[in-house]
Chains A and B, each alone.
Chain A
Amino acid sequence: MSTKAAALPRLQEEAYKGAWSWITTVDHKRVGILYGMTAFSFFLIGGMEALIIRTQLAGPEGTVVTAGTFNALFTMHALTMIFLVIMPLGAAFFNYMIPLMIGARDVAFPRLNALSYWVFLTGALFLNVSFLVGTPPDVGWFAYAPLTAKAFSPTHAVDYYIFGLQILGISSMMAGFNFIVTILNMRTPGMTMMRLPVFVWMTLVVQFLVVLAFPIITVGLIFLQFDRFFGTHFYEASAGADPLLWQHLFWLFGHPEVYILILPAMGIVSEVLPTFSHKPLFGAPFVIFSGVLIGFLGFGVWSHHMFTTGLGPVADAAFSTTTMMIAVPTAVKIFNWIATIWGGRIRLTTAMLYALGFIAMFIIGGLSGVMHASPPVDLQQQDSYFVVAHIHYVLFGGSILGLFAGIFYWYPKMTGRLLDERLGKLQFWLQMIALNVTFFPMHFLGVDGMPRRIYTYYGTDGWNGWNMVATIGSYVLGLSVMIFLFNFFRSLRAGKPAGADPWDGATLEWTIPSPPPLYNFARLPVVTSARPFWEVKYASAAQKAQMEKAEKERGADHIHIPPPSYWPIVLAFGMAVFFAGWFFNYYVNVAGVLIVLAATFAWVYEPGH
């Protein structure tokens, strides 16, 4: 690909040093790095929460933590892993890679992008400040009413939950609007929707899920806040209300949320498998369409989380049907992935191992999920460790393994260096073994009747053995993450130089240097297929001559780089003040609103954007 270009902006390069440059950055690549670093830090925190949980449950009648602390631990472990790890790790990849993969120089709204990160950080800190003041949320990550009512949860614990989630929701929605417009409206010439990489398509579906599902939980949380702060009765049975309303609103959001958690990983796997099989993705249109269908159907299954609440046979049957239907497009994807590898020239790099591991683990998680889809079976499985097994197979075996595939695949692009493959493979195998040792026995524990969210159990329950096994497995998982951290930081300094295209990739991100320059593409590429780089690299001599001629005939590109801005962090600060006001008094709320308004006006009038 031609890299000749007209005068390239040098100005902003100088502003690229120091902490202030990070605080005011509107460069999608830097925003992606910020998301990734923050998310991984919370992965460590959430992991420690998990290890304490597993230590407490290693044997019967454990005394590592009290029941109250245990409640906070499993609540915060889930909230952390879902909202502060998996979602922002996905966001890190959306931010860094989407513009590169569609041949764009940035996202549609660069400052809004930066804002979504600062608001995310605000929400993450808000939620975790609750630990520092001694009242972390302790009502389970789905916070069922009426436990969350003021009468039963009088401390601020639930309020941290409410406002933490509201702030995080705002962050996700901002990013959602940004990426939808970016993907729809900033594709390089020739990149039709069906030529988009599958990772980009899955991201598009995820963003629609975000902007449509989060408003529902926003309303549910508003009702909860009003009940707790203003004495309304949205979830109060004595006033004629139904606490189940919370469950409906929560799961109407919650189910699309789990697809938000898995689709990015599926997108990554859809990129990694073809690259390391040296074959195009089999049936790419079907994989894309299945992803869209999963997103759509995901709005119709929510009450499968409520089979044990007495909805009645008609509702149970309806939701059971829709839930089983949603397994079909997932299966279509799995068959297409297998068909992609079949007959390919396979290279078992760490990224590829992770992608393959994803498929195997997600199948197991999917099978336990299909079991849950049957109401009579779910009657026994609900709220037991069988569900814990399911969750962790799909979220660790699925999302996390998929995200690690992405990390090993795209780290060279972001840093210019390769991660160490030997350490990577050691990490992979440790994780594969450890996650199965940790979570497979939980199926048995669940069938054996061990409930979720209990802080201890008796020696006579018959659960000792598997719990000990699971705990040992969890420690090995922790070790594998340490190996990764070592690999990550050592490779930053001493990893093998990667070059632009270490994997012989097919998509546009591999056509530019590693790490990419500020402006990504010197010339926006013109694309004629879904595998543009393979088209170029493997073209015949005649085709290559034709491409070079076409390149020469194009004029120089006009490159506009938006200048840095501090209004995003100021606006995020205003938002933090507004939400903190609920813990103090209305003057603080008003101050927050005024800061947000002032920052908005300044933003609109900022020159250069």
Chain B
Amino acid sequence: MSTAAVAHAEETSLGQPHLKIGFWTFLGSECFFFGSLIATYMSYRGHSVAGPFPHHGPPHGTGILNIPVTSISSFVLLTSSLAMVLALAACQKGDRKKTSFWLCMTAFFGLIFLGFQAYEFTEFYHNGLSLTKNLFGCTFFVLTGFHGAHVSIGVLWLLSLFVINQREGIPVEKSLSVEIAGLYWHFVDIVWIVIFTLVYLIPD
């Protein structure tokens, strides 16, 4: 990460590191990216001409979404945020071993979440819901697919930090890099909170 930016944080107008300000701005812009995907999903809800449909109950009968399974994967992602924040705390205390452990756990939980997504996508495909089957397929797979892509990038990022920490260590002065990764990871988690509620838990 830019050591110049970190080292001179005190010389900045707001007394804050450039990277952190830039990253929160980026998260603001990501609100519009996911907002557009979610807005499309919600606007096209109920507009599919043919099935499969998301939820059980009238008017369509059976629904394809598996709430119990997705509840578990949501719990996994939530827990990964806890692991992330513990990794940052460890890094800020200079505890190199704990930092590695919690970074690894976060990535691990992220991978489990992705595993659940992979399972869900293949199940849906076998039950007749493909990307192009109907509007629900289009909006669901693109929304959750881009979310999953964000999770994947996050896992790569965390594993990179893990490797760096193992090889040369991430000292307290450079904990900003873990903090930024954490902001990204938590953001991906809160997007899922929104998706889980709007897509899975709110029925037609």
Contact = CB atoms under 8 A, between A and B. Distances in A.
A192 to B, nearest CB: 9
A78 interface: no
Interface stretch (A114-122, A183-191, A406-414, A543-551): A183-191
A108 B47 contact: no
A385 interface: no
A245 B1 contact: no
Given A185-B21, A212-B28, A233-B138, A219 B13 contact: no
B47 A241 contact: yes
B33 A226 contact: no
Contacts of B139: 234
Contact of B132 (A177, A184, A233): A233
Given A185-B16, A240-B44, A609-B4, 6 more contacts: A108-B5, A109-B22, A213-B32, A232-B137, A232-B138, A252-B36
A220 interface: yes
Interface in A234-287: 234, 238-242, 245, 249, 252
Given A562-B4, A609-B4, A184 B13 contact: yes
- Determine chain A's interface SS by DSSP, over half rule: helix
B132 A232 contact: yes
B30 to A, nearest CB: 7
Contacts of B12: 185-186
**Which of under 10, 10 to 19, 20 to 34, or 35 or more describes the interface residues of B?**
35 or more
Contacts of A231: 131-132
B33 A239 contact: no
A252 B39 CA distance: 12
A432 B156 CA distance: 56
B5 A215 contact: no
Contacts of B14: 184-185
Contacts of B44: 240-241, 245
Nearest to A212: B32
B26 interface: yes
Interface of A: 108-109, 173, 176-178, 180-181, 184-187, 191, 211-216, 218-220, 222-223, 226, 230-234, 238-242, 245, 249, 252, 560, 562, 601, 604, 609
A601 to B, nearest CB: 8
Contact of A219 (B4, B36, B137, B160): B36
Interface of B: 1-5, 12-14, 16, 18, 21-22, 25-26, 28-30, 32-33, 36-37, 40, 43-44, 47-49, 131-132, 134-135, 137-139, 142, 160
B60 to A, nearest CB: 14
Contacts of A181: 18, 21-22, 25
Contact of A218 (B3, B33, B43, B132): B33
Nearest to A211: B29
B40 A223 contact: yes
A36 B40 CA distance: 38
26 contacts: A109-B22, A177-B22, A181-B18, A181-B25, A185-B13, A185-B14, A185-B16, A185-B18, A186-B13, A186-B18, A211-B25, A211-B28, A212-B29, A215-B30, A215-B32, A215-B36, A218-B33, A218-B36, A219-B36, A219-B37, A223-B40, A231-B132, A232-B138, A234-B40, A249-B36, A562-B4
B22 A233 contact: no
Contacts of B25: 177, 180-181, 211
B36 A220 contact: yes
A240 B16 CA distance: 49
Contacts of B5: 108-109
Contacts of A242: 47
Contacts of B37: 219
B142 A223 contact: yes
A214 B29 CA distance: 9
Contacts of A180: 21-22, 25
A588 B30 CA distance: 27
Contacts of B36: 215-216, 218-220, 249, 252
Nearest to A185: B12
A84 B134 CA distance: 38
Given A231-B132, A240-B47, A215 B21 contact: no
Contacts of A212: 28-29, 32
Contacts of B13: 184-187, 191
A108 B40 CA distance: 35
